[in-house]
């Protein structure tokens, strides 16, 4: 395999980075193994599972939005009627819905689990006729390395360099000029 950035031939197809420029080769390997198509990753049962954190944030946003609808409606009912019960329920619903929605989102964001990490194990084929899911690329936990080869250039092929002219050739030319110049 050749590096798509610099063209360096890799010693092994299992290398993660180019040995010359440091380019991440895993994405290129996934593209090559799937014929240039980007694979679609899905959960095994076909449906997308929502993490508890995301579900909690959505619930909090829904409660908060309900407060933005119910509290003004209760206020309008309180204004149209002379019943003091609507005033009490308006105040209670404002506190419960607005504060409760914000607290639910805060709790979900701080204490509930996020999305489960994808497993990086290769898919298992149980029978030769079963089509397996494409392999998931490995994600690096390390920060991107500083590229020390930015100004690097390849060493010249010494067999292709022409031989420099002889020192005596230049000296002979200088001597010939001085003899002609004096005439």
Q: Which residue has better confidence, 56 or 82?
A: 56
CA-closest candidate to residue 57, choices 106, 91, 126: 106
147 Cβ contact list (under 8 Å, min separation 6): 21, 22
Q: Angle, nearest 10°, between helix axes 52-80 and 100-111?
A: 170
pTM above 0.85, yes or no: no
Angle at 35 between CA 34 and CA 39, to 5 degrees: 35
Interatomic CA distance for residues 3 and 94, integer angstroms: 61
Interatomic CA distance for residues 68 and 60, integer angstroms: 13
pLDDT computed for residue 126 by the predictor: 47
Rg (CA), the chain: 36
Angle at 33 between CA 30 and CA 37, to 5 degrees: 70
pLDDT computed for residue 77 by the predictor: 84
Per-residue pLDDT reduced to its tens digit, 112-171 = 888 765 554 555 444 444 455 556 666 665 666 666 566 666 666 666 666 666 667 667
Asked if residues 148 and 48 have their Cβ atoms less than 8 Å apart, the reply is: no
85-97 mean pLDDT: 88
Q: What is the torsional sign of CA 128, 130, 134, 135?
A: negative
Q: Is 80 exceeded by the pLDDT of residue 14? A: no
Per-residue pLDDT reduced to its tens digit, 43-74 = 565 566 788 999 999 999 999 999 999 999 88
Which range (1-10, 32-41, 141-150, 166-175) has the least confidence? Answer: 141-150
Q: Is 50 exceeded by the pLDDT of residue 182? A: yes
Interatomic CA distance for residues 124 and 131, integer angstroms: 10
pLDDT computed for residue 135 by the predictor: 60
Angle at 132 between CA 131 and CA 135, to 5 degrees: 145
pLDDT computed for residue 129 by the predictor: 46
Give the dihedral of Cα atoms 55, 56, 57, 61; nearest 10 deg.
100
């Amino acid at each position: 395999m050749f590096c798509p950035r610099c063209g360096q031939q890799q010693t092994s197809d299992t290398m993660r980075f180019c040995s010359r420029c440091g380019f991440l080769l895993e994405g290129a390997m996934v593209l090559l193994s799937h014929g240039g198509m980007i694979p679609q990753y899905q959960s095994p049962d076909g449906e997308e599972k929502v993490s508890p954190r995301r579900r909690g944030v959505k619930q909090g946003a829904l409660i908060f939005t309900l407060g933005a609808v119910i509290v003004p409606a209760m206020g309008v009912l309180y204004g149209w009627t002379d019943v003091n019960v609507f005033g009490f329920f308006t105040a209670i619903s404002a506190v419960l819905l607005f504060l409760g929605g914000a607290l639910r989102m805060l709790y979900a964001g701080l204490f509930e689990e996020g999305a489960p990490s994808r497993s990086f194990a290769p898919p298992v084929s149980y029978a030769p006729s079963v089509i397996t899911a494409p392999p998931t690329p490995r994600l690096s936990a390390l920060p991107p390395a500083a590229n020390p080869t930015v100004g690097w250039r390849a060493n010249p092929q010494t067999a292709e360099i022409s031989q420099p002219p002889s020192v005596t050739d230049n000296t002979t030319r200088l001597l010939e000029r001085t003899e002609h110049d004096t005439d």
